[in-house]
Amino acid sequence: MQLISILQQWQQQQWIRAIDLSLAEFIVESLGSDHEAVAFLAALTSYQLGRGHPCLELQSLRRDASAYLQLPPEHASFESRQQCSMPTHALALLPDDWQTLLQQSAACEGAASPLVLSAGQRLYLRRYWQYEQDIKADLAARCQAQSAWTGEQLKPTLDKLFGVSATISWQRVACAMAVRSGFTIITGGPGTGKTYTVVRLLATLQELREQEGPLRIHLAAPTGKAAARMTASIGREVGQLPTQYAALLGEAQAVTLHRLLGTQSHTRTFRHHRQRPLLTDVVIVDEASMVDIEMMAALTAALPAHAKLILLGDKDQLASVEAGAVLGQLCEQAEHGHYTPELAQWLAASHGVALPSSMIDAKGAERWPYLQHTVMLHESRRFDAERGIGKLAAEVNHQQTQWLREWLPHSAAFAEADAAMANIAALPVTHNSAPAFRQLVEEGYAPLRDLLQQDVAELEREPWGEAVLQQLERFQLLAAMRKGDWGVERLNQLVTLWLFGDDVAADKWFAGRVVMVTKNDYSVDLRNGDIGLAVQTNANAPLRVLFRGPTGKLRWLLPSRLAHVETAFAMTIHKSQGSEFTHTVVVMPDHDAPILSKELLYTGITRASERLTLVYADSQGVLQAVQRRIERGGGLRDDTN
């Protein structure tokens, strides 16, 4: 039982989770000690699931086990590295033919077995294999459900909503694509016009449908913050439409995916599912990069067969915290189009402008089936790709380090030479208490602190609360990691000290404490990721925690009602997804780590709407992060089962 002993060592040193070890022990107990090798691979599959990978990629494991598994983990002590076997040593104890070993094991046979070996390449926990199969089957059916409208018939409506242009409008192409197909992805970076497109898409669908009655449309996002932003941005864009179209749409209200599907307490299931689908004709999901494979399976199962599903998101952002990289896998290579000639001809007829020949691929349907339902928006209306935030985001996203090498130590000189570069700054520091960093934080939070010090009359409470929450969105620290000198835990301690002195503790309640909800709490109708602020309207008033509710109304809750919160002057970049801040400060650690990647840094940078400061202790660490990509396993793109 040498392999089980290795797993036990790893779990004792917190290299793997207790649940990973338990699965291996369960398989050995159920099937016998001669299944130890299969049990070991099962534990690795579970471990990878905890890291966001829905399966264990056997070829990657065999090629470089330590790099693929990221074992030993970054937090491993010198002593634990000496005591524990390395992954390469453990794998050497396995039989040579892993595929045959797994195929012949009862752990991979039958509908009740805990594991599934897919195409001899990927090992899944059965539940996650089933999620993948269900998603693929559902999307395949929706992709076949195409509208009877021709491109020529659609063109007059699109002319009214988008205007007539001699050059290609990818927003218009995306709208036409979504009218044509039962499933569509619209991807693009910040400011590329996803909301602009969606509002005109909804107006188009309603106009085409008008004689049959209005469509039942549902808008959703993974988090409360993202849903609130979606509601606000769509509301603003509807106001830009001609009156007759705005009247067709009415007031749009986005909700969380959990609320849309109907969460049931103390269970993984939802009120709406395949046997009890949603009453809807169109579902649009924003920030789809945050949707994990389990939630996507639940969503597709809950949609009636006739309903359109439209996903919006930035494929280059971080994938979901939980397992899977659904959006990234479905629209990989979207920037290159790969549209079939037939599809390109249909889209051109709806536009009056031909698609670039470089975007047309005769074998596109065979090689890239999901791209026949995907449009990437290329041009940002918010950021110039050659200047400021747009330039920095583009360089990171395209993994171009030469410009970054010059900019990091000389950002002030870049700003002096070009005023359009003044909205990005690099701040090199040697430690987390550096005076320049402290000054940056204190100045950033000074307007909020001034508001909190006001005495507020009862009649002024609501407008004051609104001003406080708006100010909270104007400055935010984002960290790459939770632990360490540059992790959110230490940063929150420092910010609390700098702003409020040493009389308060970062993890206790005090007026001015910014908090984030860390777990869905249905008793108070709060969701994971919601942001609140502890306030006192005057010296005699009780402490309340101020949140913005799903409809935008302010909520004033007693701290005692909040069971799952943490201080959030600084938050992880992962937790910031779906948010936007006027001035965003991205803090990089003083050492390289596997978690640091171009997706992480790109996501942090694109949370900034007007100003971005990159704080770093080691420029080489920033460059190494840009050169690293996140590769999540899975078979959503494959035809294999």
Query: What is the per-residue pLDDT across 341-394, written as a single tens digit (0 to 9) for each?
Result: 999 999 999 999 999 999 999 988 888 899 999 999 988 777 777 788 999 999
Query: CB–CB of 319/289 below 8 Å?
Result: yes
Domain boundaries in the chain?
2-132, 145-377, 388-627
Q: Give the pLDDT score at 211.
A: 61
**2-132 maps to CATH 1.10.10.1020:** yes
Query: CB–CB of 11/21 below 8 Å?
Result: yes
- Cβ count within 10 A of residue 628: 18
Tokens of 588: 């990089």
Assigned CATH topology for domain 145-377: Rossmann fold (3.40.50)
Q: How far is CA 137 from CA 275, 277, 455, 549, in A?
A: 16, 16, 59, 36
Cα gap 220→101, rounded to integer Å: 44
Residues 6+ apart with CB under 8 A from 25: 4, 39
Query: Is the fold of 2-132 the same as that of 145-377?
Result: no
User: Could you tell me which residues are annotated as the binding site?
Assistant: 188-195
Low-confidence ranges of the chain (pLDDT < 70): 210-211, 550-551, 639-641
Cα gap 313→309, rounded to integer Å: 13
Q: Which amino acid appears at position 569 of this protein? A: F
Query: CB–CB of 330/637 below 8 Å?
Result: yes
Q: How far is CA 130 from CA 296, 315, 489, 634, in A?
A: 12, 24, 37, 12
Q: Give the pLDDT score at 550.
A: 67
Task: Sort residue 634 into left (φ over 0), alpha (ψ -120 to 50) or beta.
Answer: left
Q: Packing angle between helix 18-31 and helix 2-12, nearest 10 degrees?
A: 160
Is the CA virtual torsion 277, 137, 291, 613 positive or negative? negative
User: Could you tell me which residues are annotated as the binding site for ATP?
Assistant: 188-195
Q: Please tell me the class of the 388-627 domain.
A: alpha beta
Q: What tens digit of pLDDT does each residue of 457-490 get?
A: 887 889 999 999 999 999 999 999 888 889 999 9
- Strand, coil or helix: what is 514? strand
Tokens of 257: 């995916």
